[in-house]
Amino acid sequence: MTNRPFYFTWNHQPTADAADAFPVQHAEHDEFVLQDGRRVYDFLSTSFQTSFGHSHPVIKAAIQKQLDVMPIASPKSTFPLKQRVSEKLLQLFDLGPGKIFFTLSGSESVENALKMARQITGRTKIAARQKSYHGASLGALSVTGDWRNPPHFTIDDHTIRIPEPADDPSFEQGRNIIESAGSDSVAAIILETISGANGVAIPSQQWYDAVQSTCCERGIMLIMDEVLCGFGRTGPVFAYQYYELKPDLVCTSKGVTGGYVPFGAVWTGERIVDYYDTEKLACGLTNYAHPLGLAALDAVIDLLRDSAFLDNKLALEQLFATTMQELTSSPHVIDVRCRGLLAAIDLDCAAPTWSDCFEKGLHLYSKSNMIVVAPPFVSTVDRLKEALDILKQQIAGVTVA
């Protein structure tokens, strides 16, 4: 029996607390304040969602105001906030005519995108990358390619695994795998545009061009999972904008409300909108288009267009990119992959552990020989520089076993 009345997610449940558990008193701006008063820089934006820090006054005020006006709404109701935020979101996606399906998490965004693609194409199979994470619910986990899938007897007999872009730069193998499975049985290809905790893999334009043309030629839907890499995390608002992709569905969550309210949204293109103009939509959630989520998202969209916010974000991105570039020539560093305010650093030996870094005042992700960092967009250049200096020292101090 463990000593806590709750579970730690994705973790062993030891008698002492999980290895990366930490006692927090409160959090403000870009820091956690621990129960003993120490301050720890949130170098991972918590779990990649706290893009706007822990205490953004504009997001907090929007939620507080909505709490007084209407904290709950029927999924069937229409109200100005729902209409306005949907329209603003469609503009932000900038993918042409479409509609929004609201959710409460990244897993639900993926789950509903998969359901729509399968229903509309009448096909059952989904192609997904070998190294990927798409969520913890059974459907999203079935297309997930990492350690979180195998314990759950997932329903992935409908999943086709395509190789990592680095191992198949022309997508020839991926295309052959899809053809062998019967391309007319493949409903969709689901991809994190740029992957997150599985190593910030950044596919080439050539790879994405081949994926896009395979989808177009074979009537396969393209689902971009932008739950982690979207909403400004990798530079532009969405990572698919780098590659000028034309997806059928885009899944978002995490940063959409800065994490202040559990929320998500799926963009659906014309093919899907047209289908549901005549067929019944068999998807829904009790808390669909929750007003507190809508209010937070409304504020976040405004922030993403605010010039002072964007100037600061750009300055952080420049410092981050320069430092990551410098790190490529540091001892022990064998590869650095960086876009916007997301980076993975591979070492030739065991990376400094989460606890080592936490002791030095940084909360980040560390697994075997890799570190992943994703600072909040609202940090100051000085605070980010301080955190990057500590990170450099930690990396310089690693010892090869």
Work out whether 293 is an interface residue with ligand PLP (CB under 6 A). no
Residue 57 burial by Cβ neighbours in a 10 Å radius (0-12, 13-18, 19+): exposed
Collect all residues with Cβ–Cβ distance below 8 Å to 179 and sequence separation of at least 6. Answer: none
- Specify the 3-state DSSP secondary structure of 261: coil
Collect all residues with Cβ–Cβ distance below 8 Å to 384 and sequence separation of at least 6. Answer: 316, 319, 320, 375
Q: How far is the CB of 43 from ligand PLP (least distance, A)?
A: 16
Question: Which stretch of DSSP H or E encloses residue 311?
Answer: helix 307-327
For tokens 């890799």, name the residue. Answer: 370
Tell which positions 52-91 bind ligand PLP, by CB under 6 A.
Answer: none
Q: How far is the CB of 41 from ligand PLP (least distance, A)?
A: 21
Work out whether 290 is an interface residue with ligand PLP (CB under 6 A). no
Work out whether 145 is an interface residue with ligand PLP (CB under 6 A). no
Cβ atoms within 10 Å of 383's Cβ, excluding its own: 17
Q: Calculate the alpha carbon distances from 72 to 9, 69, 305 in Å.
A: 28, 9, 28
Collect all residues with Cβ–Cβ distance below 8 Å to 76 and sequence separation of at least 6. Answer: none
Work out whether 223 is an interface residue with ligand PLP (CB under 6 A). no
Closer residue to ligand PLP in complex, CB, 251/272: 251
Interacting span for ligand PLP (CB under 6 A) from 67-75, 221-229, 268-276, 352-360? 221-229
Question: Which of 135, 203, 293, 340: binder of ligand PLP (CB under 6 A)?
Answer: 135
CA pair distance 140, 372, nearest whole angstrom: 23
Q: How far is the CB of 359 from ligand PLP (least distance, A)?
A: 25
Q: Which two tokens stand for residue 268?
A: 């659906």
Work out whether 106 is an interface residue with ligand PLP (CB under 6 A). yes
Question: Which of 120, 141, 211, 228: binder of ligand PLP (CB under 6 A)?
Answer: 228
Question: Which of 227, 249, 297, 373: binder of ligand PLP (CB under 6 A)?
Answer: 227
Q: How far is the CB of 315 from ligand PLP (least distance, A)?
A: 26
Strands 39-42 and 31-34: antiparallel
Work out whether 255 is an interface residue with ligand PLP (CB under 6 A). no
Work out whether 107 is an interface residue with ligand PLP (CB under 6 A). yes
- Contact criterion met (CB below 8 Å) for 342 and 377: no
Work out whether 98 is an interface residue with ligand PLP (CB under 6 A). no
Question: Which of 145, 196, 258, 293: binder of ligand PLP (CB under 6 A)?
Answer: 196
Closer residue to ligand PLP in complex, CB, 192/298: 192
The residue whose Cβ lies closest to ligand PLP is 106
Work out whether 142 is an interface residue with ligand PLP (CB under 6 A). no
- Contact criterion met (CB below 8 Å) for 262 and 104: yes
- Interface residues with ligand PLP (CB under 6 A) are 105-107, 110, 133-136, 192, 196, 225, 227-228, 253
